Amino acid sequence: MLDAYLRQSVRNGSLGIIWPNDRQTRYGEEYCPQVVVRLNGLFTPLKLALHPYLYLGEAYMDGSLRLERGTLWDLMDLLCKNLAGQPDGWLVRLARPIISSLTQHNSRRLSRRNVSHHYDLSNKLYRLFLDKDLQYSCAYFKRPDLTLDAAQTAKKRHLIAKLQLQAGQRVLDIGCGWGGLALSIAEAANVEVLGITLSREQLEVAKQRASEAGLSERVKFKLMDFRDVRKDAFDRIVSVGMFEHVGAPNYAAFFEQIHKLLSPSGIAVLHAIGRMHGPSITSRWMQKYIFPGGYIPALSQVIPHVERCGFWLTDLEILRLHYANTLRLWRERIQQSREAVEKLYDQRFCRMWEYYLVASEMSFRYAGFMVFQIQLAKAVGAVPLTRDYLFEAEGKATSFFDFPTSQSVQYAPCATSLNRSD
């Protein structure tokens, strides 16, 4: 089964397989395979044939799939180049509503458990590969040679420009992470910020950072579900990298809560991962090991809820390869710290995390994943009539942000020009 599938699917590039009985097979173009994989275990080929989206990751984690030539990035790049654009099968389309209901219910209890699974890992792990500000979301590469720290600073500056902050305003940060954006908002303008998270580990770090920055009076952090915020209206609401954990069954509740909490003249900005091919389902491996309850929406699943709440969609921006470049830098940094990661956990965890970062990068390069930034308002005149204000605000902020460059990292302008030397 696996042999037939690979013969049909691998057309570009060359893949070599060493089977459990030591038989060797080559797939794709007629030259020396650029990637050679050894499969160990009698049932490994069968598992890969029956459920590749689950067992490919598991086989790499437990060592039943080993690379004899090339890296995991090379293997995933080759496979994704050949499989990109394949639509969901009829069985997936038929089962999608059932799967969505079972895996994305995300009650308050489940949401806390799911968030803890990923975000309550050791903060030492995240400090090994994130930027200095601990931004765990898509960076903004205004120039292709920006360092990770500079690109994450640019992302925050871009979001802050869209918020159009004014002194004395009250800001809500939903899914505040380790507090970096909330603190930057407070530093950019004389405003009060409430950051909420479901991660105890993140909460402690965020509170400590606010205290060290002397901002504890203006920036508060709480362990709280977005559904439980019960304060007066906020002038600004921002959410970055949290919406992916809401789940499609809860989208109505999410936007209704935003609408209830936002002041009549307020502005909300939502930054989240999306997909261009329409609704689908989350990878079983990703659900099981990395983001239980997580789901990447299509805009067609999001916009109807915006319309029903009566929001003006005042700006929609699509960031395409920005997250692919972010993930690549994360992967390179965590590989450089592999010994430290192994001391925190073990080799299996290292392989799991490597697979997660590589698979995620490929999703943005080949599988139609992107990041959308949606700006919402209740009042038609809440936001300037042209986008010039964004560039003016970012231009004024340039003197406050240092933009170092790195000559050691080069980014390809599009996925089709990628190769190992990039």
Per-residue CA distances from 116 to 101, 121, 168, 183, 292 (Å): 21, 8, 34, 23, 10
Q: How many residues does the chain have?
A: 422
CA dist 285 and 292 (Å) reads: 10
Return the minimum-mean-pLDDT range out of 49-53, 166-170, 410-414: 410-414
Residue 89 DSSP class: P
Which sequence spans correspond to the domains of the chain? 2-83, 108-410
Question: Confidence class of residue 17 from pLDDT cuts 50, 70 and 90?
Answer: very high
Mean pLDDT value across residues 41-50: 94
Q: Rounded to whole angstroms, how far apart are CA atoms 79 and 59?
A: 16
Q: Fold for domain 2-83?
A: Nonspecific Lipid-transfer Protein; Chain A (3.30.1050)
pTM of the model: 0.90
Give the pLDDT confidence of 113-125 residue by residue, as tens digits.
889 989 999 999 9
From the list 169, 166, 191, the residue with the least C-alpha distance to 389 is 166
126 phi and psi, to 5 degrees?
-65, -35
Residue reference for tokens 């639509």: 87
Summarize the confidence of residues 329-345 as an average pLDDT.
97
CATH for 108-410 is 3.40.50.150
Share of the chain above pLDDT 70, in %: 89
Q: What is the mean pLDDT of residues 9-21?
A: 94
Greatest C-alpha distance within the chain: 71
pLDDT at 412: 35
pLDDT higher than 60, residue 175: yes
How many angstroms from the chain centroid is the CA of residue 326?
Answer: 9
Task: Give the phi and the psi of residue 11 in degrees, each rounded to 5.
Answer: -115, -35
Output the pLDDT for position 112.
Answer: 86
Q: What is the pLDDT of residues 270-328, one digit of tens each?
A: 999 999 999 988 899 999 999 999 999 999 999 999 999 999 999 999 999 999 999 99
How many CB atoms are located within 10 Å of the residue 419 CB? 9
CA-nearest of 308, 319, 200 to 259 is: 308
pLDDT score at 408? 35
In this predicted structure, the answer to whether residue 101 has a pLDDT above a threshold of 70 is no
Give yes or no for a contact between 302 and 254, defined as CB atoms under 8 angstroms apart: no
Q: How far apart are CA 292 and CA 328, in angstroms?
A: 23
Residue 30 banded pLDDT, cuts 50, 70, 90: confident
- What is the tens place of the pLDDT at every residue in 371-406? 999 999 999 999 999 999 998 888 776 544 444 444
